[in-house]
Structure 1
C-alpha cells in the first residue's frame, strides 16, 4: 500500500481529544454528526444547482440554489456556535472536501482500486476530523500560532516568505 502524508497517529490523537471534548460539551455529537452529513449533501446540492443552471440556462435552478444555501447556513449555525476569522468558511469547505473525497473514493472502489479508494477515504476522514476539531475547540488558534513559532520562524520571516501577505498588508497601509 502507498504511504500517504496522513499521519494516522495524529488523527487518532485528534479523535481522542474530540471524544474527551464531548464530555461537558452542549453538542449531541451523534445527532450533530448526522447533521454534518446532511450539510455536506446540501453543499453538493448547491454545486449541482449551479452546474445545472449553467448547463441549461434556466435561472430557476439558481433560485433553488439560494433556498438550499439558506437551509445549509441555518443548519450549520447549529454546529458552529463561535468562530473566529475564516473558521465558518473553513468549516464549510472541510465538509465539502470531505464529501467530495469520499465520493471519489467510492468511485475508485467501484473500479476495483481498493488502495486508491482507501487513500481517498483516509483523506476525507482527516478533513472531517479537522472540522470537528475546530468546532469542538480541540484545535485552538493559540496553539496554531505557537506551533509556527516553535518551528523556529519569527513572524517577520513568515511574512517575508509569503509575498501574498506582504502585498495584502501594503494595500491596507496606504
Structure 2
C-alpha cells in the first residue's frame, strides 16, 4: 500500500480529495482490466481480451486526462462515449510520438 501511495504521488499532480481518489480508482481499474485481458488472451478468447484491453485503455486515458489537466474531476463523462474516445485518441498520439521503431 505504501509503495502505491509513493508512486501515485509522483503521477498525481494534485493529491487532494476527489482527484486523488478518482485517480487511484482509474489506475487500479485499468490495471485489473489488463490482467483480465491477459488471462483471456492466454485462454485464446481474443475478442473478450480486446474488449478488456480497450476498456483498460479508456480508463488509463481518463487518468492522464485528469492529471494532465485536460479535464476536471467535475466534468467526467458518465455515459458520453465520444469524450472518452477523444481522450484515448490524445493519449495514443502522445504514445505514438515516442515510438522509435
TM-score (norm. length: structure 2): 0.67
Which residue does 1:125 correspond to in 2?
57
SS of corresponding position for 1:75:
helix
**Residue 78 (str. 1) matches residue 10 (str. 2):** yes
CA distance 1:122–1:103, shift in 2 (3 Å):
same
Unaligned 5+ runs, structure 2: 79-101
CA distance 1:131–1:141, shift in 2 (3 Å):
closer
CA distance 1:141–1:128, shift in 2 (3 Å):
closer
Unaligned 5+ runs, structure 1: 1-68, 149-174
Which residue does 1:31 correspond to in 2?
none
Structure 2 matches for 1:18-57, cutoff 5 A?
Answer: none
- Matched residue count: 78
Corresponding residue to 2:35 among 103, 123, 134 = 103
Query: What is the Cα deviation at residue 71 of structure 1?
Result: 2.4
Deviating above 4 A after TM superposition, structure 1's stretches of 4 or more consecutive aligned residues are: none
CA distance in 1, matches of 2:4, 2:73: 25
RMSD: 2.2
Which residue does 2:86 correspond to in 1?
none
Query: What is the Cα deviation at residue 75 of structure 1?
Result: 2.0
CA distance in 2, matches of 1:123, 1:87: 20
CA distance 1:126–1:134, shift in 2 (3 Å):
same
**Residue 87 (str. 1) matches residue 19 (str. 2):** yes
Q: Which has more radius of gyration?
A: 1
CA distance in 2, matches of 1:90, 1:138: 15
